[in-house]
């Protein structure tokens, strides 16, 4: 009434009589009476089994390595063939994202330079420092509020490298979506190739 797994050893199976049912036909199996193996004999058999297993592993290890290496090389070639067109599309998108981010940074520099120039012009040629001092104070406070708002929205401190990286990724993912470039599939293929 119970199934016998393939891993069951024959000496364990033949310890007592049993009924074997195959295709609804019952066979009575009577086990021969044997003496219990001595501890020394059991140890010798285990050592012999271990030795045979190690010899088999050593003799067939090189073939197994070659087979695994061949399978891996075929898989690597397949992954590289899938990645090649994706790499070209990604390079174009990265170039566009880099150019867009660079333009934004230069525009920010131009805006800050213009602000500084206008403040200098107003301070030394139009008004006096006494009048412009509160204006610059409020501008500094406004800039601080903008940077604090950036922190609240992004949960990152406003540093130029992090802001640049964030802008780059924003433009990259936007352009990827427009060009139907699947970033998740690309990352999955790259991870699989790395493994």
Confidence of residue 84 (pLDDT cuts 50, 70, 90): confident
45 belongs to a structural domain: no
172 belongs to a structural domain: yes
23 belongs to a structural domain: no
Instruction: Say what the pLDDT of residue 113 is.
Output: 93
Instruction: Say what the pLDDT of residue 37 is.
Output: 56
- Structural domain harbouring 126: 84-194
185 belongs to a structural domain: yes
Mean pLDDT of 14-23: 76
pTM: 0.54
Whole-angstrom distance, CA of residue 46 vs CA of residue 96: 67
- 160 sits in the region (left: phi over 0; alpha: psi -120 to 50; else beta) called alpha
178 belongs to a structural domain: yes
41 belongs to a structural domain: no
Q: 34 pLDDT exceeds 70?
A: no
Degrees, nearest 5: CA angle 129-130-131:
90
Instruction: Say what the pLDDT of residue 183 is.
Output: 80
CB-based contact 176:93 (threshold 8 Å): yes
Number of domains within the chain:
1
40 belongs to a structural domain: no
User: Residue 115 has which token pair?
Assistant: 């602000």
Mean pLDDT, the chain, whole residue set: 82
Instruction: Say what the pLDDT of residue 72 is.
Output: 87
Whole-angstrom distance, CA of residue 150 vs CA of residue 159: 10
User: Residue 130 has which token pair?
Assistant: 């006494």
């Amino acid at each position: 009434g119970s199934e016998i797994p393939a891993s069951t050893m024959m000496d364990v199976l033949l310890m007592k009589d049993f009924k074997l049912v195959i295709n609804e036909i019952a066979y009575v199996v009577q086990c021969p009476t044997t003496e219990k193996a001595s501890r020394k004999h059991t140890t010798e058999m285990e050592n012999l089994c271990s030795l045979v297993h190690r010899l088999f592993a050593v003799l067939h290890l090189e073939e197994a390595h070659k087979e695994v290496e061949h399978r891996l090389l075929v898989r690597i070639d397949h992954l590289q063939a899938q990645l090649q067109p994706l790499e070209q599309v990604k390079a174009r998108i990265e170039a566009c994202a880099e150019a867009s981010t660079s333009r934004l940074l230069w525009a920010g520099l131009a805006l800050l330079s213009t602000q500084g120039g206008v403040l200098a012009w107003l301070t030394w040629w139009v008004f006096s420092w006494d009048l412009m001092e509160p204006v610059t104070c409020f501008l500094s406070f406004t800039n601080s509020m903008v940077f604090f708002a950036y922190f609240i929205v992004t949960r990152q401190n406003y540093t130029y490298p992090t802001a640049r990286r964030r802008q780059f990724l924003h433009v990259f993912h936007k352009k990827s979506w427009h060009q139907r470039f699947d970033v998740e599939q690309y990352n999955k293929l790259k991870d699989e190739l790395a493994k």
